[in-house]
Chains A and B, each alone.
Chain A
Amino acid sequence: MSEPGRIVAGMLAPHPPHLVYAENPPQNEPRAECGWEPLRWGYERARKDLAAHPFDVIVVHSPHWQTYVGTHFLGVPHFDSLSVDPVFPNLFRFHYTLDVDVELAEAIEAEARGAGLVTKMMRNPDFRVDYGTIVACHMTRPEWDVPIVGISSNRSTAYYGVDVMQEQAAALGRATRRAIEASGRRALLLSSNSLSHRHFTAEAALPEDMSREHIYNHSQYLWDMQLIRMMKEGRARELIDVMPEFIEQAVSEADAGSLAWLMSALDYPEYPAEVYGYGTVIGTGNAVAGWFPGTPVDKTGEARA
């Protein structure tokens, strides 16, 4: 590839298995009647916009591959297995087959290691890819025809606090950007996480019964709207600044570092995100949003493909 690589888009791509369940893809064993349409239609609109931004690889950072020693990268070229969600096995038993861009994964790992982060390549062929990676990738690219780079969530927040997590995630984001630029790839980045993250601890008899679905509490909703407003107004640095309080107050899954990684990789966008949808899943707040670096901003202040 002669052209330098680049990030063509970054997405906030939440991973509730409920979304795949409600889509009824052939890979998933359980069947649904409906459910969580605002989010699923949001993903649908995101896919339409992404069609105008071809990409060679999806780089996904997932809170559900939790590593307490460093950041890990999928390092096996191909996986073919069954993913069963340990929390919602009644909804998600997904037969996946996917390719990994090991060359790019190794390049990001080397950049991250060079930046002082603790890293490791995952080379065990029996390893099961986590459902956070699979759901985000499936909802973004259900054709599964693009290789991925899977990045684990280093749980430094559990040891040191959110600030240290953010610094490490920011370093990882910069390393990701440098490796992509050097690779010649056109990359789509996925931050696979929800916003507010307090769950109900009971489930409706029919999981897709939308009469039972709502935000866990109003303060979570207010926090989610605050974050989304910042995304829509291109206030990424401010978003990072408030994230420790957001994580504390809204029990946010952003503590995994995925969103901080994405903002850093995108160099803290000052242009607006396209927010495709917001919805709750078993009480948690989820938004589908996209950033398109280098895309002209129209007069309404919204980025368009």
Chain B
Amino acid sequence: MSTSPFVRGYVVPGLPHPLLAAEKNAGWMRLRKAFEAARDDLQASGAEVLLIYSTMWPSVIGHQVQARPEPEWVHVDELFHDLGSIPYRFRMDTEFAQGFVETARARGLEARTVDYHGFPIDTGSVVALKLLNPDNAIPACIVSSNVYADRAETIVLGKAAAETLERQGKRGAAVAVMTFSNRLFSDWVAPQDDRIHSGKDDEWNRKILEFLALGRLEDVAQLSREIQRQIRVRKVVSFKPMWWLSAALGQHNRYAGRVYDYAPIHGAGAAVVGLAPSRNGVGDKEYDEENVEVYHGERHVLEETGEVEAPAEAAPGSVQTSAAPKPVGAYVHARRVGDLLFLAGIGPRMPVSDEIPGGPIRDADGNPRDYDVEAQTRQVVRNVEAVLHASGATLADIIDVSVFLVDMDRDFQTFNRVYREYFESVGATRTTVAVDALPTPIAVEFKVIARAPRS
């Protein structure tokens, strides 16, 4: 079962037709009814916060979070302005908004609240709130979609939302405002002639909806890049809301999915989908990309870069590889001397991203965190294997292992079980010691000596 405090997830279209012109087209009316059914489900769900992630609110400076208590305006869509105006007054959960920004920042994201009269809330958020929460029964929050955000950043944003709910002891509903295929007709079409832009778009939309009906949210999230390639107009918003939604809801496939309805809006594929945590879903994800807890991407471009270190001349026999985590000091990953390979102390940080599988052992303020030593141990072995591979060796060549644990009492049994899986047949000697700390917030590190390959 999911442990996410989000009790519901929804996918809804942000185009204004179901709100402003439902009577002009049977499909738009079906979507209107679908919104209403989802609204009833939402109101019965027990959600205390309604969080909108809108692809129609692009941001550049990190992520913006709407924090005005009662934003009020008369909105007009910049494209479909002829459908009419949308007066609104919403009720926002400002406590959640503040907490969300703080949590996102603690996870390495750039984030800020916006609290300004007249701030242009995007059409998608307006439509979603007007149709899902017409009486403002549930206080809401809206977060922008950063145009530069990649998968890692988007996932961390989703996790930050869930963590904020946990910290505040609230239950939430997460709404991704998006279309599936997003190819609008580039000319005007009469409402009665509306259809999905192409058969290919329609087939992909239906396949994605089939996944979601089975509760396979994480599987859809992991197909995001392929979906973007197949049915999304390039350079418009990427198909990344599924990354966010899945991360917020727990990153698995155990949901009861319901496709309320699916119809074209000016050629794009629009659907209202609901997801509720379930014991009877498809199960865990079928495959996985890297799971990300903290964002380590570009966030310091305004700072002084300092002196650029010139690459040192490589010492004889030294080995460096991008397949292992970058050293945190002036040392190489491994060095060959005679018939032996001496590996540097190697921990579980991920190559390139530096993220720590299973989470760091303490947060940015130094407070202890729960972490998964099994995940850390497995990654240590993978990193050792990467360095050995770069040296022309394998795990089978290992002669001696020194293991450093920061919490012997807590972690030894788990570590030892995982270690056995990899090293039972290797026949290496081993020494395990407890240490007070390691240079980064990790729980385990190996120091390895191995046979060097024959030159």
B184 near A126 with CB under 8 A, answer no
B337 at the interface (CB under 8 A from A): no
Query: How far apart are A243's CB and chain B's nearest CB, in angstroms?
Result: 15
Within 8 Å by CB of A89, from B58, B78, B114, B266, lies B114
Please state if A69 and B185 are interface contacts (CB–CB under 8 Å): yes
Q: Which of B297-344 contact A (CB under 8 A)?
A: 298-302
Residue of B whose beta carbon sits closest to that of A168: B186
Among B78, B188, B234, contact of A70 (Cβ-Cβ < 8 Å): B188
Contact A86 B185 (CB under 8 A): no
- Asked whether, in the complex, the Cβ of A202 is within 8 Å of the Cβ of B110, the reply is yes
- The bracket for how many chain B residues form the interface is 35 or more
Q: Closest CB of chain A to B168's CB: distance in Å?
A: 25
Taken together as a complex, chains A and B put the C-alpha atoms of A26 and B188 apart, in Å, by 41
Say yes or no: is A199 at the interface (Cβ < 8 Å to chain B).
Answer: yes
User: When chains A and B are docked, how far (Å) is the Cα of A88 from the Cα of B79?
Assistant: 22
Cβ contact within 8 Å between A200 and B233: no
CB-nearest residue of chain A to B232: A158
Contact B116 A201 (CB under 8 A): no
For the complex, give the distance between the alpha carbons of A72 and B76 in Å. Answer: 14
Q: Which residue of B is nearest A121, CB measured?
A: B82
Known contacts A89-B114, A124-B85, A201-B110: A69-B79 contact under CB 8 Å? yes
Rounded to whole Å, the gap between the CB of A89 and the closest CB of chain B is 5
B298 neighbours in A (Cβ, 8 Å): 201
Q: Report Cα–Cα, A176/B60, bound state, in Å.
A: 32
The residue that A128 contacts in the complex, of B62, B76, B110, with Cβ under 8 A, is: B76
Task: Report the Cα distance A201→B228, complex, angstroms.
Answer: 23
A201 near B187 (CB under 8 angstroms)? no
How far is B301's CA from A127's CA once the two chains are assembled, in angstroms? 37
**Chain B nearest Cβ from A35, distance in angstroms:** 14
The answer to whether B57 and A68 touch across the interface, beta carbons within 8 angstroms, is no
Chain A 78-137 interface residues, beta-carbon cutoff 8 Å to B: 82-84, 86-89, 93, 118, 120, 122-124, 126-128, 130
Determine how close the nearest CB of chain A comes to the CB of B68; give it in whole angstroms: 10
Residues of A within 8 Å of B60, CB to CB, are 87, 199, 201, 282
Stretch in B4-12, B43-51, B118-126, B155-163 with 4+ CB within 8 Å of A: B118-126
* Given the contacts A65-B78, A68-B184, A84-B119, A158 and B236 also touching, CB distance less than 8 Å: yes
Known: A70-B186, A118-B188. A84 touches B79 (CB 8 A): no
Residues of A within 8 Å of B61, CB to CB, are 87-88, 199-203, 282
Within 8 A of B (CB), among A139-160: 152, 155-159
Interchain CA distance A69-B185 in the complex, whole Å? 7
Residue of B nearest to A160 (CB): B186
Q: A70-B188, A159-B186 are in contact. Are A128 and B82 (CB under 8 A)?
A: no
Check: B146 CB closer than 8 A to any chain A CB. Answer: yes
Asked if A204 is an interface residue, CB under 8 A from chain B, the answer is: yes
User: Contact: A201 with B299, CB < 8 Å?
Assistant: yes
Interface centre among A70, A83, A200 (most CB of B within 10 A): A200
**Which residues on the B side are within 8 Å of A65 (C-beta)?**
78
**Per-residue A-contact encoding for B74-96, CB less than 8 Å = 1, 0 else:** 11101101101100000000000
**B148 close to A (CB within 8 Å):** yes
Contact B188 A69 (CB under 8 A): yes
Nearest residue, chain B, Cβ from A157: B235
Taking a contact as CB atoms under 8 Å apart, the answer to whether B185 and A126 are in contact is no
Cβ-defined contact, A84 with B302, below 8 A: no
- Docked Cα-Cα span, A300 to B234, in Å, equals 45
B69–chain A nearest beta-carbon distance, Å: 16
Q: Mark A residues whose CB is within 8 Å of B.
A: 65-70, 72, 82-84, 86-89, 93, 118, 120, 122-124, 126-128, 130, 152, 155-159, 199-204, 212, 216, 255, 282-283
| 27 interchain pairs, CB-CB under 8 A | A66-B78, A67-B79, A68-B184, A68-B236, A69-B79, A70-B186, A72-B79, A72-B81, A82-B117, A84-B118, A86-B120, A86-B122, A87-B58, A88-B61, A89-B114, A89-B116, A93-B118, A118-B186, A124-B85, A126-B85, A157-B235, A199-B61, A201-B60, A201-B62, A201-B146, A201-B148, A202-B300
